[in-house]
Each structure stands twice: as C-alpha cells, then as structure tokens.
Amino acid sequence: MFRIQYICAALLTLLLVAACKSPAPRSSDETTDSNLVELNSIQMKQITVDTVKIQEEKTDLVLNGKVTFDMDYLSPVYSFVSGNVLKVNVSQGDYVTKGQTLAILKSADVGNYEGQYAVAQGQLKTAKRNLDIANELYKTKVYSEKDVMQAQNDYKSATVAVQTVETYLKTYKLSGGDSNATYTITSPIDGYVVSKSVSEGVNVRADNTTPLFTVSFLKTVWVEANVYENDIPLISKDDSVDITTVAYPDNKIKGAISKIANMLDSSASTMQARIVVDNSKGLLKAGMFATIDVHIDKHTKAIGVPKEALVFYDNDYYVMVSRGKSQFEKRRISIDGTNATMAYVKKGLQPNEVVVCKNSLYVYGQ
C-alpha cells in the first residue's frame, strides 16, 4: 500500500514540474516552424530568387468585345430611282474600286428625267430664238422695250429649267442623253462588298431603306470592347491594349483605345470602348469575338513581384520569402492588382525582401 502511494506522489510531482516548464505561447507576429522550409543544396539549384522593389503600378483589365466594320469607311449603296434590276455585276466578298459598276437598272424614272431634260433644252432653244428676234424687231421699232424684256425673262426661265434638270442628272449620275432609260449603280469607294441584298429581275424602289450593297474598306476595323459600369473609372482614352481572338489565340494585336462612348447599352449595362485596328493582313472579320487586355497605368507605386512567385492556396496568395541561405518562410500577402507579368502587393511584403520567383509552388509544398 505504501509503495502505491509513493508511486502516485512521484507521478504527481513530475506532472507539476512539466507544467511549470511548459513554454509560453508564441506571439501572433512570430514565424512558426510550420511556416519555415529548409532546402538542401540540390533543391536550391531548382529555384530562382529575386529582390522585390517598389515600382509604378500598371495593372490589366480584361474585357470582352467584338470586331466590327470601320464605320468611317463603310458605304451603304442605294438606288436613287425605282426600277427593275437588269444585271448584277458583283457578289458578296468581291473587291471593287471607286466608280465600278455594281448593278444596272431599267427605270421609268430615268426615262422621265431624260424626257424633262429634252423638253427643257427645246424650250431653251425656242426662248433663245425668240430673244434674238425680239432684239432685231426692237431695232426696227416693231417691238417695244417691254416686248424685249419679256423675251429676256422667258430666256432666263428656260435657262434655269435646263440647269435644274442638269443638276439633278449630275447628282444622281444620269447621262441626260439617250441611255434607254437605264440607271447604273456604282461603288462610292474602294473596298469589299460586305453585303448584297439585290438580285437580277428584282424591282427596287427609290425610297427603300435597305441598302442594295454595302462596301467597306477592310484595311482597318473596329474592336468594340464592353466595359461594365464598375470598370468605367479604370479606363481612359489612349490606354494601350492587347487583342486576341478565338480564331487566332496566339496572335496578339497591339492597339489603343481611341474613343469611349458617353452612354451605356441599357440591354447589357455596358459601355463601348473602341479600338481602331490595322487589318492590312485581312485576318480580322466583322463579327469575330475578341478578348481585350487593357493596360492601366494607375499613376501610383507599389511593391511588385513576378506572377510566378505567387502561390494561390485556400483563397489566399502566398510567397516564399528568404530567411537565410537556404531557409524560406511561407508568407500570406494581399494583392492590389496584376498584369500579364507582375502582381502588386498591398500588404505582407517589404521592399528589398527576397522571394522565390521560380518553382515557388515546389518550395511551398516542402
């Protein structure tokens, strides 16, 4: 019995001593051993480190958009007269030059205008002859001054009538002569026929609101980026961009924002930002979907780290910070923004600290 009591007393004494010697809890600012990684010489050869510095913060904003025609070089082609289409000379996709014939119409309107021109010219000749006779008869006192003035007024009226019809004919490029009442539709610019809504034998009207052809100069196109309302303050005119398309994902097209709209599209709650893009190679087609990477200069400075240095785990970002020759600390950081190559740190790093920038995930997992 005494032996059992002795053993219990001894155990109690040991427990009390252990409790007295237990270490004090670490402060939250201290680095725990679980956050430290030690690499051997072979592992050290697999990584690259870099010193972080304060630099200009240039972040990226990724937007979606679509390729459209350059509306400054888009020409809808209408018929200014009604008539029946005798011949269509081009197809959609054809390249045409300025003044090239697109279609020919048989038009009663043209015949009417040509008839008016012939009548006006005949009336002008008659008025001129009457004026000459009036002047001669006035010299012989057969006509009075009043008769001469009337002949002069008739001649002026006939001249105005001819000029009026001639102006109309020139405006709508009608011959004014014997053209068998045909009307030729021509291209107003050099470019490609991007739409065609007419065929041979179809009747067209002068008041038709749908263009018969649309010709576009495709050496430049527009990329319209959709900017959501909360991103509007981030972008500015002349911001540089990189554009990629689904068709050519590896081909980055450089450009800059040339115009920002002043209103939102109510159906999509987005605003349009326009980029005019050189398309001399003809790769971009109207209707293509595009991704626009806008490079934003915030005009502020922050600590920048290469994006390869980041480790994303459990909804947080981490970097591996050097704590000596081969020892590294897992440190959680807050990110303010990123671009294609850099991340900008809001909290968690100090200037001139050294971080792993190659194989950081490998070090984090040790």
One of 1.10.3720.10, 3.40.50.300, 3.40.1590.10, 1.10.287.470 is the CATH number of 108-180, namely: 1.10.287.470
CA atoms of 246 and 325, how far apart (whole Å): 46
The terminus-to-terminus CA distance of the chain in angstroms comes to: 54
Q: Average of pLDDT values for 288-311?
A: 89
| pLDDT computed for residue 172 by the predictor | 67
CA dihedral (255, 258, 262, 266) in degrees, to 10, reads: -30
The answer to whether residues 187 and 212 touch, using CB atoms and an 8 Å cutoff, is no
Q: Is the pLDDT of residue 31 over 70?
A: no
Q: Average of pLDDT values for 39-58?
A: 89
Third-level CATH fold of 33-58+300-364: 2.40.420
Hey, what long-range contacts does 165-168 have (CB within 8 A, 24 or more apart)? 165/113, 165/116, 165/117, 165/120, 166/117, 168/113
The answer to whether residues 294 and 61 touch, using CB atoms and an 8 Å cutoff, is yes
- pLDDT tens string 193-251: 999 999 999 999 988 899 999 999 889 999 999 999 888 988 999 999 999 999 999 99
pTM for the full model? Answer: 0.60
Third-level CATH fold of 74-104+186-215: OB fold (Dihydrolipoamide Acetyltransferase, E2P) (2.40.50)
Q: 128: which 2 tokens? A: 């001129």
CA atoms of 363 and 313, how far apart (whole Å): 13
| pLDDT computed for residue 10 by the predictor | 47
Closest CA to 231 of 75, 108, 62: 62
The answer to whether residues 284 and 245 touch, using CB atoms and an 8 Å cutoff, is yes
| pLDDT computed for residue 159 by the predictor | 92
Residue whose pair of structure tokens reads 């409790």 in the numeric block: 19
- Per-residue b or e along 181-197, where b marks 16 or more CB atoms closer than 10 Å to that residue's CB: bbbbbebeeebbbbbbe
Q: Where are the domains of the chain?
A: 33-58+300-364, 62-72+216-298, 74-104+186-215, 108-180
Q: 279: which 2 tokens? A: 């398309």
- pLDDT tens string 246-255: 999 999 999 9
Bridge partners, residue 227, by sequence: 271
Phi, psi of 118 (to 5 degrees): -65, -40
Helices (H) and strands (E) in the chain, counts: 5, 21
* CATH number listed for the domain at residues 62-72+216-298: 2.40.30.170
CA atoms of 263 and 280, how far apart (whole Å): 31
- What percentage of the chain reaches a pLDDT higher than 90? 48
DSSP class of residue 361 equals: H
Q: Average of pLDDT values for 48-64?
A: 89
Across all residues in the chain, what is the average pLDDT? Answer: 85
